[in-house]
Amino acid sequence: MKTPEELTSLFRARGLKVTPQRQRIFTILHDSPRHPSAEAVYEAARADMPTLSLRTVYQTLNDLASMGELAALDLGTGATRFDPNLSPHHHLVCIQCGSITDLHTVFPDVAVPTGAGDGFTVTATEIVFRGRCASCEAARTPELHPTHH
């Protein structure tokens, strides 16, 4: 993700208003490797700026996504998540806690089989693996882990 200063310049170049609230949002996104929801960004920013509105956070995130600076992801975790990592990658999604982890692995054989797409042009491939993260798996109760004899 671009630095907060670079994002500030991009916003100004597009005629978008740059406020201290937006600059705080830029910093939160830049400093976090996570895939935050708008609500998570809002909570982090409100710690320093109690007058910040959730609407400002949504507008800023959507502006960044429309500018191609963030990817808006719907990974079935209940809220749109925003990914500041724009390099090609896939995701591991925990079905228990909803955490999302980037997976930088190439799957060279993944493609629409010839003829199956009926003229469809693929512009990107996204693979989502669902399961339990290490923390959630470790926290499972022993009765949920059947023993094999």
**Residue 119 belongs to some domain of the structure:** yes
Place of tokens 């509105």: 53
Whole-number pLDDT of residue 81: 92
**What's the CA gap between 83 and 91, in Å, rounded?**
11
Q: Give the Å distances, CA to CA, from 46 to 20, 42, 82, 138.
A: 12, 6, 18, 33
Q: Which helix (H) or strand (E) holds 66?
A: helix 54-66
What's the rounded Cα separation, in Å, for the pair 122 and 138?
38
Which domain does 18 fall in, by range?
4-73
Per-residue pLDDT of the chain (149 residues; tens, 9 = 90+): 899 999 999 999 999 999 999 999 999 999 887 899 999 999 999 999 999 999 999 999 999 999 999 999 988 777 899 998 888 889 999 999 888 999 988 777 777 777 776 778 777 788 899 999 999 999 886 655 555 55
Domain count, the chain: 2
Res 142: pLDDT: 61
Is 115 within a domain? yes
The pTM (predicted TM-score) of the whole model is: 0.79
- 16 Cβ neighbours under 8 A, 6+ residues apart: 63
Q: How many helices (H) and strands (E) does the chain have?
A: 5, 5
In this prediction, residue 66 carries a pLDDT of: 94
Whether 100 and 61 map to the same domain: the answer is: no
What per-residue confidence (pLDDT) applies to 146?
58
Domain boundary at 30, 51, 73, which?
A: 73
The CATH number of the domain where 40 resides is what? 1.10.10.10
List, edge to edge, every strand of the sheet that includes 90-94: 100-103, 90-94, 128-131
The CATH number of whichever domain residue 131 belongs to comes to 3.30.1490.190
Q: Are residues 28 and 68 in the same domain?
A: yes
Q: Is 25 exposed, middle or buried (0-12, 13-18, 19+ CB in 10 A)?
A: buried
pLDDT for res 116: 73
Q: Do 51 and 93 lie in a common domain?
A: no
